[in-house]
Structure 1
């Protein structure tokens, strides 16, 4: 395996007698440091693998065994540990001393019984290995077949090293490694996978810990090889790609099913996590012919199930997928639980793992409820047994504990934990773990692996939380909160629900972005190419016979719907991993690499918003102080549309899109411009141009019902024309005051350390006096600060820049901060803003520059020097906002060197962008004559002010 074109080093020159030319791979005098493609694919000498087989099986040709095994295993593999084709070094556990078969044992003694033995056991019958002619069995596959056949046919087998089957296992494993080592092509051969799968089947059932550990390493190789062979790719046929005929294998689907059987069987036996994901299960089910992936996801969504899924093999396949899903969740959350921070340590922590785990368990239980309701009266005994076994496994993940649980419950030792699993069901479930003849023991019990009860096992990686009722589902914080009118089997994160909109006379087209899911090409988020691709989708939709020719584009966030527990990103036809990796452009990485707007990266991302001419409805969220809000406002203000409207709402990022109030807003707007039905006068300008919620009082956060009391106000333009921009001054005594005289007399500095972060905030704050009357602030805020930076005493490096983070907070009459609902339901302050001092230059001549909104081009030519000790005046914008301050309440203005509370998911912590070399030091805000520091606030006059 070290001889691979994918990764690895060439073995060093052996000190034994064997020469590389004996293997026919490379001349002894050549010592390249890496393989090239031509060299890696050379075929070894014709008799090499047969000589190895003979040596390993029968101990013949002692010289060859001594030299070859020393070279291939004990020498460089143990000392240099070369890389395998997976990129991992070979575990030493795979390279223990070579066992020899008894001298009177001949591999041919079992050959004649292959077909009969395998035909009697359904789990390998479909693979067709028993009918493979000897010429189609490479040595390592023949050994693997013999190993499993011996384990099945010999009732005395104990599964340990020293038994016939145990010796066959070790010999087959060694030969598998050696053959893949000397012939690189074998790493891309499905027969090598089949050999490893058969060996893993035996190894999984062995009570010998060493054998099971070796099997764990072997399964990791199987998973990697199958992905490399693209056997899991639904768009490819294993036969045409690999030149494998039906005579060699009974079908790609059968091979995939067996891979997943072994993977999850091993996970169940070893209390480990399955290695495969449901995204890879692109095959048809054996009896109904349905797509496994589509059907399985339908079960999780609570969809109607076809009648023919009750067929035994299909039913077992789907139920064991649920079993594997349960195993995955148990192990995935085990480690995070061990290190989870107690909730009281971080009041803003948005994720509770225990709740996540409970909800995801509920998904499986809900799916089982769906299954029972549909097929409860038609399940065979085998299927019913596995059904109840899966229910028990949700409670007790380890077989040893499950055995104890089942036995105690059967004798009345403990009361049933699941109210819907009576003792009769426990007895059926226990039959899955019954003592089965011809099966190695596992922890005192025998797993019925040869029975069709566990014919197919599948691992599910795409997590999907359910509401627990078996319908549609979603974790408690998202999909379950969506109104029922917007729940359907086709619901998807951040997109219109097809069920609702088609009922209202609309067609929904949901397209994968270029380079994702089913869309070929290079993933290049937010680029002109991506925009043009969406334009192509719009043109296509307009030309369809079912279309009126009028199309709306809904702007939603990025991919990742599965991560929010709505649905898988795609169901069928996903691109393979290699293509996705090649096509992927990581926006986070590229943003960090491209720091200025004139960098090449932004050449296709700099748009002239005046080119937008279609009717436009922009809906911003006051709580989205780090996501979309500024873009909503800038897009509205600068769009060239003759008809455009701006709305501001509150709440989380996900839910308002589906609330009755917001849906009616969308529907009436779309009816007006797509259907010509406009009773509300959108097209006639009878709607207010700007409408916004006024955040008044402390109603808590992440509570949509409480936020419904916020009043709504209208304005004829943005910003509201009657805005009175009022300066509040900062003082050296940390006050925020409307008195200019206080600012003039203020002297000194307010200092804080650079490079603060959420865990270690470094800031200074300025607090207002209690307000005497009600004041509404709505619009843009700008602050002017006089800042400098100095190095620490004795420091060897000199700071050359300053990062400024500013935050506006709202305190109630008791001094407690009032939090508002952020993007993901987290508590956020009124608003935030940021500026890097070296980019302080403002283009005052630009038509978009305003006194309340400084305009910057952010080009490389705009950089200005920052020298220690020099004071710089900077104008810094805060994102547009709204807040009503009531009598006796206060405002707090905070200046920091890094993220503070309210940053949520959007931290600024890139180690290169915010390097210690550039920023380490002490930041200062200066107060002196001629250097006023102020915050200009947008006051909206109200009656009585």
Structure 2
């Protein structure tokens, strides 16, 4: 068992010593809302974390919505360099946003307290240990941080203004931590709503298919370290009092001692070892009501799949990472969920479809409801690859054996279907099985599933963090090719990632590619699907013919949709060799697609 619940006596001891100090009550400027700023709450080791409490002015017992993050509970999005672009996109998408709220308390990836307090909720936003006004060592997703969260939840449930029920709401970091703390089963936790958060710390955060995700360095350097407690040079501004909200200044040496660089830590743990086991929760212990909001381009249906909650719902959407969270539709969904589980409202939530997916097509999107995931009417279809012709189709199962090679550092190979003769929907997890070889002892596989229009242009979609992404992306370091059959399905291979098995140059090996997310697309008549296999991050070149799908109104750019950025950890002599894909008969390689029978 990866998490241990606090014994009742120990929990009572911790709560007894977790009473707040003197709150700094600030004039909120919002009628009917009390704002307690920088309230100290004592953790189990005696350290005080700082929280902001937004609550109704009218006395009573109210349910609590809580989040805990590293981005600054007092950092306004419009003021911080790291968030200005996100704020501009948000206001462009919802120009009336600040007519429904003062927007003074909106924080990056966090709910707007004003919109919730007015509906009878208390919102508590905490700075994680080592960030903002909370002192200590900054160590994202660590067991210590998760224990802090559990302490805060139970403290909030026992305050005189609380109804005793706590829900968790937030995106990304503040969604990932929800899964972690839910497995601790803290007293008072009544429901969670992780909005686009990863679950598996190795496969979804640290390593994609066994390949180190160095993109976290940008996140760490630009969004987290500037807000470290004690950082006197932070560009972040305290939107409440002005100045800095990072506590007493610390020396550069002490600041470095007080933080754990996640990319450095990940690089020291290339396999799925105890480091990740301590940070990936035990799904059998997640039993609270759960609404998992995922994205087709990143994060994550896995929490929904593994959680033991009997009352759980999945919603998969398209679009960017931030703006959908603040839409009126999203707010209404969030309130219906929490009204039901935190207030006991008889609002029909129990009849809400357990699964809702936003089906994509080049000219827009539509919603589909279902009772399970994958969708019950899924028919799995194998599109066999032919290295000789560069084509793929269900009819190529008996194609003659063929091989084709490519430079690992080059543009790789692309396999393309014939134009579809009928409109066809594929919605669900996908799989790719290849027979591969290399001139070196290892190779990295980056797979991209693409949609090609009748003019030969790539149809791109709005991604989690980029405006132009393909239908799906998959990864595998072939030395990590071992599969645990008991934990795998054909559409979801489970690689244990426990050891490295070098390749023998010139020998062929079966490789099942990890796709961290499912996909959804209605392929119109005359369009084609393409599968690109290469040894580097997939991206669209400056002269690539692309057309943006009408899923969101965004300017046309040539952004590639990369998540990994650069790969300084990859040795060119090892990962830049001549790589080979074999197809046909005993080396049948194929793309597995989730065809929706009701659309056939």
TM-score by length of 1: 0.45
Structure 1 counterpart of 2:513:
876
| Alignment CA distance shift 1:501-1:655 (3 Å) | same
| Alignment CA distance shift 1:734-1:634 (3 Å) | farther
Structure 2 counterpart of 1:602:
276
- Over residues 715-759 of structure 1, what are the superposed CA-to-partner deviations in whole Å (9 max), with x where a residue is unaligned? 11011122100000111234443344x3433333221111x3xxx
Larger % of strand: which? 2
- SS of residue matched to 1:552: strand
| Alignment CA distance shift 1:490-1:918 (3 Å) | same
Structure 2 counterpart of 1:805:
446
Contact kept, 8 Å, 1:517 with 1:575, in 2: the verdict is no
Larger % of helix: which? 1
Contact kept, 8 Å, 1:516 with 1:575, in 2: the verdict is no
CA distance in 1: counterparts of 2:474 and 2:560, whole angstroms: 11
1:807 is displaced (CA, Å) by 0.5
1:478 is displaced (CA, Å) by 3.1
- SS of residue matched to 1:832: strand
The counterpart of 1:783, out of the listed 429, 432, 435, is: 432
CA distance in 2: counterparts of 1:513 and 1:748, whole angstroms: 55
Structure 1 counterpart of 2:465:
824
| Alignment CA distance shift 1:734-1:659 (3 Å) | farther
Structure 1 counterpart of 2:41:
none
Contact kept, 8 Å, 1:618 with 1:645, in 2: the verdict is yes
- Over residues 215-234 of structure 1, what are the superposed CA-to-partner deviations in whole Å (9 max), with x where a residue is unaligned? xxxxxxxxxxxxxxxxxxxx
The counterpart of 1:753, out of the listed 385, 396, 407, is: 407
Structure 2 counterpart of 1:494:
109
CA distance in 2: counterparts of 1:515 and 1:641, whole angstroms: 32
How many residues were matched structurally? 444
Structure 2 counterpart of 1:907:
564
C-alpha RMSD of matched pairs (Å): 2.8
| Alignment CA distance shift 1:575-1:534 (3 Å) | farther
Structure 2 counterpart of 1:866:
503
CA distance in 2: counterparts of 1:697 and 1:648, whole angstroms: 18
Structure 1 counterpart of 2:475:
834
2:316 is the alignment partner of 1:648: yes
Structure 2 counterpart of 1:716:
371
| Alignment CA distance shift 1:648-1:487 (3 Å) | farther
CA distance in 2: counterparts of 1:905 and 1:540, whole angstroms: 41
Structure 2 counterpart of 1:893:
531
Contact kept, 8 Å, 2:83 with 2:108, in 1: the verdict is no
- Over residues 312-355 of structure 1, what are the superposed CA-to-partner deviations in whole Å (9 max), with x where a residue is unaligned? xxxxxxxxxxxxxxxxxxxxxxxxxxxxxxxxxxxxxxxxxxxx
CA distance in 2: counterparts of 1:673 and 1:566, whole angstroms: 36
Structure 1 counterpart of 2:215:
none
1:769 is displaced (CA, Å) by 0.4
CA distance in 2: counterparts of 1:543 and 1:662, whole angstroms: 29
CA distance in 1: counterparts of 2:83 and 2:128, whole angstroms: 25
Pairwise mapping of residues 128-207 of structure 1 onto structure 2 (< 5 A)? none
CA distance in 1: counterparts of 2:84 and 2:588, whole angstroms: 56
CA distance in 2: counterparts of 1:491 and 1:884, whole angstroms: 36
| Greater Rg over alpha carbons, structure | 1
| Alignment CA distance shift 1:486-1:777 (3 Å) | farther
2:565 is the alignment partner of 1:919: no
Q: Tell which has more relative contact order, 1 or 2 (C-alpha 8 A, sep 6+).
A: 2
The counterpart of 2:247, out of the listed 574, 587, 600, is: 574
- Over residues 797-832 of structure 1, what are the superposed CA-to-partner deviations in whole Å (9 max), with x where a residue is unaligned? xx2101001000001222211111012342000000
| Alignment CA distance shift 1:744-1:486 (3 Å) | farther
| Alignment CA distance shift 1:917-1:738 (3 Å) | closer
CA distance in 2: counterparts of 1:640 and 1:530, whole angstroms: 23
Structure 1 counterpart of 2:415:
766
CA distance in 1: counterparts of 2:580 and 2:425, whole angstroms: 31
| Alignment CA distance shift 1:926-1:481 (3 Å) | same
- SS of residue matched to 1:727: strand
- SS of residue matched to 2:450: strand
Structure 1 counterpart of 2:185:
none
Contact kept, 8 Å, 1:731 with 1:743, in 2: the verdict is no
Contact kept, 8 Å, 2:111 with 2:170, in 1: the verdict is no
Gaps of 5+ in 2: 1-23, 29-77, 174-219, 228-234, 540-558
Pairwise mapping of residues 418-817 of structure 1 onto structure 2 (< 5 A)? 463=81, 475-482=87-94, 483-484=97-98, 485=100, 487-558=102-173, 560=223, 571-574=244-247, 576-578=249-251, 579-598=254-273, 600-624=274-298, 628=299, 632-682=300-350, 686-699=351-364, 710-740=365-395, 742-754=396-408, 756=409, 761-790=410-439, 799-817=440-458
CA distance in 2: counterparts of 1:491 and 1:874, whole angstroms: 45
1:466 is displaced (CA, Å) by 7.5
Pairwise mapping of residues 355-366 of structure 1 onto structure 2 (< 5 A)? none
| Alignment CA distance shift 1:922-1:577 (3 Å) | farther
- Over residues 848-876 of structure 1, what are the superposed CA-to-partner deviations in whole Å (9 max), with x where a residue is unaligned? 3212211122113xx32211101001111
- SS of residue matched to 1:500: helix
CA distance in 2: counterparts of 1:534 and 1:489, whole angstroms: 25
- SS of residue matched to 1:476: helix
CA distance in 2: counterparts of 1:568 and 1:904, whole angstroms: 33
Contact kept, 8 Å, 2:381 with 2:592, in 1: the verdict is yes
| Alignment CA distance shift 1:723-1:568 (3 Å) | farther
CA distance in 2: counterparts of 1:737 and 1:915, whole angstroms: 32
